[in-house]
Amino acid sequence: MAAHVSYTPTFHHTNWVDKIDRVEADGPNGFNTRFNAIGADLRQLSTVVTQIDTALEDFQAPPDPPPQLMSFTPVFRGVPSEGSPWTTLPDGTAIADTLGNAANLSFFGLMNLTLPSGVRLNTMRVLGNLIPDDTLQASGTVTLWRTLIRLTAGPAAVDMIVKADTGSGFRNFDILSQATGQPALIDPSTYRYFVTGTFQTPADIFPSTSMTVETIQLAFLPV
């Protein structure tokens, strides 16, 4: 809230009297004293006008825009060298499910994203469900990455932007992760973006251990 703005004049004119008061430059009743007092009042008034102008500009400034929200349910593609593939439930939810099979203890999935330009990623929110194993060691992650757009062959360097870690022993989870640093500045002309989902569980998987991702929400702020 702006500070209180006020103006109190300090100059008060005392009328001269014909044939009694003498015209003089100096002294308590002289022109110099009176005009200097008027000048001081005008300078104070100028300061107050500046304060009023600043207050009006602050009052008229538009509010900060709300975050731009991008919400989606991932459809993870499998990468055989990284682990078992995620699948999709009939309602579109992504799921990594051991189905009691000790051969499926590590899951990996990837989804490419098209992100808006001229924004900074503020937060990533991940909602889903984790059915823990018997020893409460199963855990999963959802991570947003970027990599340079290149026309050359060879492995590409990747930067992690933000990560959501379920921990272990969860049922339903709602994780909000803050994005920080330079990688949070979204630049689709220079980088491409993708999100990965991982799920790991130990061998104690009776009868079934799983992780589902219901929704991922990315909140952006303008830059």
pLDDT, mean of each 10-residue run, the chain (223 residues): 61 68 67 69 75 71 81 95 93 89 84 96 96 80 94 82 87 94 96 96 73 97 92
Prediction pTM value: 0.70
pLDDT at 12: 67
Which amino acid is it at 94?
A
Q: How far apart are CA 87 and CA 94, in angstroms?
A: 6
Q: Is 184 helix (H, G, I), strand (E, B) or coil?
A: helix
Q: In 10 A of CB 175, how many CB atoms?
A: 17
Q: How far apart are CA 212 and CA 78, in angstroms?
A: 15
Question: What's the count of helices (H) and strands (E) in the chain, helices before strands?
Answer: 1, 12
pLDDT at 204: 61
Tokens for 207?
A: 């009868």
Domain spans of the chain?
1-61, 68-222
pLDDT at 150: 80
**Residues 6 or more apart in contact with residue 146 via CB below 8 angstroms:** 158, 159, 161, 183, 191, 192, 193
Q: How far apart are CA 56 and CA 59, in angstroms?
A: 5
pLDDT at 121: 97
pLDDT at 156: 79
Q: Is 181 helix (H, G, I), strand (E, B) or coil?
A: coil
Residue 154 is given by DSSP the state: S
Q: Which fold has domain 68-222?
A: Jelly Rolls (2.60.120)
Q: How far apart are CA 14 and CA 199, in angstroms?
A: 89
pLDDT at 87: 94
pLDDT at 1: 44
pLDDT at 114: 96
pLDDT at 142: 98
Q: How far apart are the first and last CA of the chain?
A: 25
